[in-house]
Chain A
Amino acid sequence: MEKILTRWLDIPDLRRIEVYEAHDGYKALRKALTEMTPEQIINEVKASNLRGRGGAAFPTGVKWSFIPKESKKPVYMCCNADESEPGTFCNRYELENDPHGIIEGILITCRAVNAHVAYIYFRGEFTVQKRVFDAALAEARARGYVGPDVMGSGFAVEIYTHRGAGAYVCGEESALLESLEGKRGYPRNRPPFPAIQGAFGCPTVVNNVETMHNVPHIIARGADWYRSIGPEKSPGPKIFCLSGHINKPGIYELPMGFPLKDLIYEVGGGITDGRKLKGVIPGGSSFPVFTAEEAVKVNMDFDSVRAAGSLMGTAGVMVMHDGTCMVDVLRTVAHFYHHESCGQCTPCREGTGWIEKLLIELEAGRGRMEDLDTLISAATNMEGNTICVLADSLSMPVKSFVPKFKDEFIEHVRLGRCPFRDSEPRPVQMPEVTADA
Chain B
Amino acid sequence: MPKVTIDGKQLDAPDGINLIDAAERAGIEVPHYCYHPGLTIAGNCRMCLVEVEKMPKLQIACNTRVAEGMVVQTRSDRVKQAQAAVLEFLLINHPIDCPVCDQAGECKLQDYYMDYDDRPSRFPLGRKNRKGKAIDIGSGVMLDQERCILCARCTRFFDEVTHTSELAIFGRGDHNVVDTYPGAKVDNQYAGNVVDICPVGALTEKEFRFRKRVWYLDRTPSICGGCERGCSIDIHHQRGRIYRFKPRYNPEVNGYWMCDEGRHGFPALQGESRLIAPLVQAKDRMAPEGWTAAIRRAAETITECRDLNGAASIGAIAGAQATNEEAFALKRLITSTIGSKHLSGFSWSPMAASADDKLLIRANKNPNSEGLRALGLAADGIDRLAAAVASGELKVLIALRADLAGALGEAEFGRRFGALDYLIVLDTDVNETAQMANQVLPIAAYPELDGSFTNFQGRVQRIHRAFDPPGEALAATEVIARLGHAIDGVTRPGAAEAVFAEMAASEPAFRGLSIEALSPHGALLANRSA
Contact = CB atoms under 8 A, between A and B. Distances in A.
A340 interface: yes
Contacts of B169: 184, 343
Contacts of A435: 131, 170-171, 175-177
B60 to A, nearest CB: 7
A414 interface: no
B86 A346 contact: yes
B90 interface: yes
A339 B86 CA distance: 20
Nearest to B63: A189
Given A381-B88, A384-B58, 15 more contacts: A167-B172, A338-B174, A339-B172, A344-B44, A345-B43, A346-B45, A346-B86, A346-B89, A353-B173, A353-B174, A374-B122, A381-B81, A384-B57, A385-B82, A433-B175
A342 B170 CA distance: 10
A343 B175 contact: yes
B173 A433 contact: no
A352 interface: yes
Interface residues of A, number: 34
Contacts of A433: 129-131, 175
Nearest to B173: A341
B172 A341 contact: yes
Contact of B44 (A339, A374, A387): A387
A347 B89 contact: yes
A341 B129 CA distance: 15
B518 interface: no
B41 interface: yes
A429 interface: no
Contacts of B455: none
Instruction: Using C-beta atoms within 8 Å of the partner chain, give the interface range for chain B.
Output: 35 or more
Nearest to A386: B46
17 contacts: A184-B169, A340-B173, A343-B150, A343-B169, A344-B42, A344-B150, A345-B44, A345-B46, A346-B86, A349-B89, A353-B173, A384-B57, A384-B58, A385-B46, A385-B86, A433-B130, A434-B175
A350 B175 contact: no
A8 interface: no
Contacts of B85: 347, 381, 385
Contacts of B82: 381, 385
A430 interface: yes
Interface in A324-348: 338-347
Contacts of A350: 89-90, 92-93, 174
A352 B58 contact: no
Interface in B20-73: 41-47, 49, 57-58, 60, 63
Contact of A340 (B46, B57, B63, B172): B172
Contacts of B131: 433, 435
A385 B79 CA distance: 11
B210 interface: no
A374 B127 CA distance: 15
B41 A189 contact: yes
Nearest to A169: B172
B181 interface: no
B208 interface: no
Contacts of B45: 345-346
Contacts of A344: 42, 44, 150
Contact of B46 (A341, A343, A346, A354): A346
Contact of A351 (B44, B81, B89): B89
Contacts of B92: 350, 353-354
